[in-house]
Amino acid sequence: DAGVIQSPRHEVTEMGQEVTLRCKPISGHDYLFWYRQTMMRGLELLIYFNNNVPIDDSGMPEDRFSAKMPNASFSTLKIQPSEPRDSAVYFCASSVGPELHFGDGTRLSIL
Amino acid sequence: AQSVTQLDSQVPVFEEAPVELRCNYSSSVSVYLFWYVQYPNQGLQLLLKYLSGSTLVESINGFEAEFNKSQTSFHLRKPSVHISDTAEYFCAVGDQAGTALIFGKGTTLSVSS
């Protein structure tokens, strides 16, 4: 079975550029989550959706971050403009019950 | 608000030794509890979970965890570790199906020969 698919796996870009991270959840899952992982702060919840509707975006750090889920099989996390402190691993996860299923993450480096 | 505390950031052990990774949580409602494992450059994989019923839960590779409501703990144990168990382990708490899990900061288990 296909798991959660994230792209790209790695992204290196210069500060000020727009970054778009993509996620395809597991088919049939009605919840989608975006987390960010850093050494200093661990795993932080950024935002999550239920049936494509954002439920809680209180973890989104600033207005530079935005997330969308136009349909049940696709979500994006956008950073514009990007800054070096945004460097982290970004994970997408989906669920249909209590257990979350994670993608392999996008390792983002902002120079 | 819920929170999770993993009491040890790093746990070094020798192969075939027993190990315990400690996790305490804080929640005002009934909880679901999870342990996830992360290998280098990979996402988090579910190791085991407590949703209801028996307070002792086991994984297919020999790990077990016990839900202790009075001590608000969910410690992870393995009687004999292997080199391949070297990874980062995360404890997580949730309060109902579909809401976001809150994760601890992780414990790095390093198994050496």
The predicted structure's pLDDT at residue A11 = 97
The predicted structure's pLDDT at residue B97 = 62
Chain B residues whose CB is inside 8 A of the A48 CB are 99-100
Find the mean pLDDT for residues A1-12: 93
What residues contact A58, with CB distance under 8 A and at least 6 apart?
A: none
The predicted structure's pLDDT at residue A95 = 92
Chain B residues whose CB is inside 8 A of the A104 CB are 41-43
The predicted structure's pLDDT at residue B98 = 62
pLDDT at B99 over 80: no
CA distance B32 to chain A (A): 7
Question: Distance between CA atoms of B20 and B76, rounded to whole angstroms?
Answer: 6
Query: In this predicted model, what pLDDT tens digit does every residue of A37-86 receive, in sequence order?
Result: 998 889 999 999 999 999 999 999 889 999 999 999 999 999 999 999 99
What residues contact A106, with CB distance under 8 A and at least 6 apart?
A: A6, A7, A8, A9, A10, A11, A21, A89, A90
A66 within 8 A of A57, measured Cβ to Cβ: no
pLDDT band at B27 (very low <50, low <70, confident <90, very high): confident
Q: Work out whether strand A88-95 and strand B23-26 pair parallel, antiparallel, or are unpaired.
A: unpaired
pLDDT at B1 over 80: no
Find the mean pLDDT for residues A27-44: 94
Contact B100 A30 (CB under 8 A): no
pLDDT at B16 over 80: yes
In 3D, which of A82, A96, A12, A93 has the Cα closest to residue A46? A93
The predicted structure's pLDDT at residue B28 = 72
Contact A97 B97 (CB under 8 A): yes
Distance of CA A5 to the CA centre of its chain: 11
pLDDT at B100 over 90: no
Question: Distance between CA atoms of A73 and B97, rounded to whole angstroms?
Answer: 20
Find the mean pLDDT for residues B78-89: 96
Read off the tokens for A34: 């975006």
**Strand (E) positions, A51-105?**
53-56, 65-71, 74-79, 88-95, 101-102
DSSP label of B24: E
Contact B106 A42 (CB under 8 A): yes
Chain B residues whose CB is inside 8 A of the A31 CB are 98
